[in-house]
């Protein structure tokens, strides 16, 4: 049975929605399983925000494609802003072998080996934060930690020029949405991107990835004949592009939620081993990745609502994570003792974030170490949210801490 699709006169990329998306999330969920939304730059968008619908689309990768882009642009019809990603912007059957190689690179065993060096980096960082006492947690906590451990362990890229990663990521994640006046301004302020783009390209080359890093494991697949010389740098790039900003903002969002919910901070401080649960609940409560897109391979229906081949479907991860049908009456509460398993923030199915074990390990180590050694954390000024087409996060997050 075909039904008429409800429509909402709301632009998901407006500054209002980017600043506070939760009312928009609720309205999309309540309007129906598939909802037409307005987009000022003229993109024809339908959104899905219920847990069940988002889950179904993730579970049907042959019908709802990734190869036409995880962002708002259609990689078949629109001009791509970069070379297509072999891992994310790909469908089975071609995706299958690539995914298998990447899952093996980021295997539980390879990830577990990182714990010691992550712990050392966390101890060193918390030493420094206890000296500072008052600091911008966005820079000194959320950016400092991944920028230390990710380039070392994951990519094995050179120390010099790591600040390019942040500029590259802003470019990447803004480009996955429309060129709104705000996004255009941000991209203009980034200035000439030649340097970060070529720094990233150079960092992915065989001679520039450190031995033992995940980047070198990807290159090792070339030696075994499983990847070509041109595929390897593309996959190293996917770690660089997807693994830095997402983790930074997730750490910042988690800390900000803990500052805003002192009872939850106390639960964590009293039992620092809850770090990993606090992180997963934080990204359930406020998904760092706002949305991803899927594209129907042919004209079809989603729960009775017709969608066209090639039409971009916006999977609203943050909306699904607050769906009372899935999370009950307490969906809108931040509760680190909740069982947050099964949230959509890392996606689901064959495209589920391949790097999520690394992000979870980083968060577990850093949050547990921080909570063990810090008794109180309070705001030290006004926090400034960062608006971005794809990500939720903070521009600055001033806090004051006291030692345990």
Partner 1 sequence: MQVLGTTTKRAEAGAPDIPVVVTSRRLMTADIVRLTLGDPAGGVLPPWAPGAHIDLILNDGVVRQYSLCGSPGDTEWTIMVLREERGRGGSRQIHDRVEVGHRLAVRGPRNNFELGIAPKYRFLAGGIGITPLLPMLADAERCRADWTLSYCGRTRSSMALVDDLVLRYGDRIRVHADDVDGMFDVGGFLSQPSRGELVYACGPAGLLDDVLAEAGGWPAGSIRFERFEALDVDMSADQPFEVELALTGTVLAVPADRSILDVVSEAGIQTLSSCQEGTCGTCETPVLSGEIVHRDAVLSAEERNEGDVMMICVSRAACGRLVLDL
Q: Which two tokens stand for residue 162?
A: 């790591």
CB of 62 to partner 1, least distance (A): 12
* The only residue of 15, 349, 381, 384 in contact with partner 1, by rule CB under 8 A: 349
Identify the CA nearest to 89 among candidates 294, 325, 296: 294
62 binds partner 1 (CB under 8 A): no
- The least distance separating partner 1 from the CB of residue 302, rounded to whole angstroms, comes to 22
- Residues 80-99 as x/- pattern, contact with partner 1 by CB under 8 A: -------------xx-xx-x
Binding pattern for the stretch 105-134 against partner 1, x by CB under 8 A and - elsewhere: --xxx-------------------------
In angstroms, the CA 161 to CA 403 distance is: 33
Give the separation between CA 350 and CA 246, rounded to whole angstroms.
Answer: 19
Size of the site for partner 1 (CB under 8 A): 30
CA distance 384 to 326: 31
Binding mask 268-307 for partner 1 (x = CB under 8 A): ------x-xx--x---------------------------
Among 132, 153, 179, smallest CA distance to 400 is for 132
Among 342, 375, 378, 384, binds partner 1 (CB under 8 A): 342
CA distance 270 to 265: 9
Among 148, 162, 269, 348, binds partner 1 (CB under 8 A): 348
Helices 356-373 and 115-132: crossing angle, nearest 10°? 40
The answer to the question of residue 219 lying near partner 1 (CB under 8 A) is no
Alpha-carbon distance of 382 to 256, in angstroms, equals: 12
In the complex, least distance from residue 134 CB atom to partner 1, rounded to whole angstroms: 32
Nearer to partner 1, 44 or 104 (CB): 104
The answer to whether residue 330 forms part of the interface with partner 1 (CB under 8 A) is no
**346 part of the interface to partner 1, by CB under 8 A:** yes
Buried b (16+ CB within 10 A) or exposed e, 192-225: eeeebbebbbebbebebbbeebbbbbbbebbeee
Contact status, residue 393 vs residue 248, Cβ threshold 8 Å: yes
Indicate the residue among 77 and 109 with the shorter CB distance to partner 1: 109
Nearest distance from C-beta of residue 359 to partner 1, angstroms: 11
Nearer to partner 1, 269 or 360 (CB): 360
DSSP per residue, 331-377: GGS--TTS--TT-STT--GGGS-TTHHHHHHHHHHHHHHHHHHEEEE
379: β partners = 399
Q: How far apart are CA 79 and CA 156, in angstroms?
A: 31
Q: 63 vs 140, which CB is nearer to partner 1? A: 63
Shortest approach of partner 1 to residue 117 CB, angstroms? 19
- As measured in angstroms, the least distance from the Cβ of 163 to partner 1 is 31
Shortest separation between residue 321's beta carbon and partner 1, angstroms: 13
Query: Which residue lies nearer to partner 1 by CB, 111 or 175?
Result: 111
Burial (Cβ within 10 Å: 0-12, 13-18, ≥19) of residue 177: buried
Minimum distance of partner 1 from residue 93's CB (angstroms): 5
Is the Cβ of residue 104 or residue 127 nearer to partner 1 in the bound state?
104
Please give the radius of gyration of the chain, using alpha carbons only, rounded to the nearest integer. Answer: 21
Interaction between residue 211 and partner 1 (CB under 8 A): no
Write 37-40 long-range contacts (CB < 8 A, 24+).
37/7, 37/8, 37/10, 37/11, 37/12, 37/314, 38/7, 38/8, 38/9, 38/10, 38/11, 39/11, 39/12, 39/13, 39/178, 40/11, 40/13, 40/14, 40/178, 40/180
Per-residue x/- track, 23-52, partner 1 (CB under 8 A): ------------------------------
Instruction: Please report how close the Cβ of residue 185 comes to partner 1 at its closest, in angstroms.
Output: 36
Rule CB under 8 A: is residue 381 a binding residue for partner 1? no
Q: Which residues bind partner 1 (CB under 8 A)?
A: 93-94, 96-97, 99-100, 103-104, 107-109, 225, 274, 276-277, 280, 337, 339-343, 346, 348-350, 352, 356-357, 360
């Amino acid at each position: 049975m075909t039904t008429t699709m409800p429509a909402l006169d709301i632009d998901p990329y407006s500054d209002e929605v980017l600043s506070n998306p939760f009312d928009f999330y609720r309205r999309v969920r309540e309007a129906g399983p598939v909802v037409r939304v307005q987009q000022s730059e003229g993109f024809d968008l339908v959104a899905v925000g219920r847990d069940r619908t988002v889950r179904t689309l993730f579970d049907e990768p042959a019908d709802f494609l990734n190869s036409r882009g995880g962002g708002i642009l259609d990689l078949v019809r629109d001009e791509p802003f970069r070379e297509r990603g072999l891992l994310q912007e790909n469908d089975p059957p071609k995706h299958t072998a690539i995914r298998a190689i990447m899952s093996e690179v980021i295997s539980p065993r390879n990830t577990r080996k990182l714990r010691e060096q992550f712990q050392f980096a966390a101890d060193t960082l918390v030493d420094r934060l206890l000296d500072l006492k008052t600091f911008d947690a966005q820079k000194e906590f959320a950016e400092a930690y991944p920028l230390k451990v990710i380039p070392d362990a994951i990519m094995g890229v050179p120390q010099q020029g790591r600040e390019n990663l942040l500029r590259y990521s802003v470019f990447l994640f803004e480009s996955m949405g429309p060129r709104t006046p705000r996004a255009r301004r941000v991209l203009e302020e980034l200035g000439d991107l030649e340097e970060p783009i070529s720094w990233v390209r150079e960092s992915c080359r065989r001679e520039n990835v450190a031995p033992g890093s995940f980047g070198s494991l990807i290159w090792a697949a070339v030696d075994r004949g499983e990847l070509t010389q041109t595929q390897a740098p593309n996959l190293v790039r996917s770690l660089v592009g997807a693994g830095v900003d997402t983790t930074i903002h997730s750490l910042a969002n988690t800390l900000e939620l803990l500052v805003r919910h002192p009872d939850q901070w106390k639960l964590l401080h009293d039992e620092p081993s809850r770090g990993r649960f606090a992180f997963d609940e934080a990204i359930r409560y406020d998904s760092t990745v706002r949305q991803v897109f899927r594209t129907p391979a042919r004209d079809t229906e989603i729960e009775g609502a017709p969608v066209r081949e090639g039409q971009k479907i916006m999977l609203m991860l943050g909306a699904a994570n607050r769906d009372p049908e899935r999370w009950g009456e307490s969906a809108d509460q931040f509760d680190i003792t909740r069982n947050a398993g099964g949230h959509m923030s890392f996606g689901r199915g064959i495209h589920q974030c391949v790097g999520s074990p690394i992000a979870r390990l980083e968060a577990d180590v850093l949050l547990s170490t921080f909570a063990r050694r810090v008794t109180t954390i309070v705001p030290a000024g006004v926090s400034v949210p960062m608006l971005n087409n794809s990500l939720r996060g903070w521009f600055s997050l001033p806090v004051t801490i006291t030692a345990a």
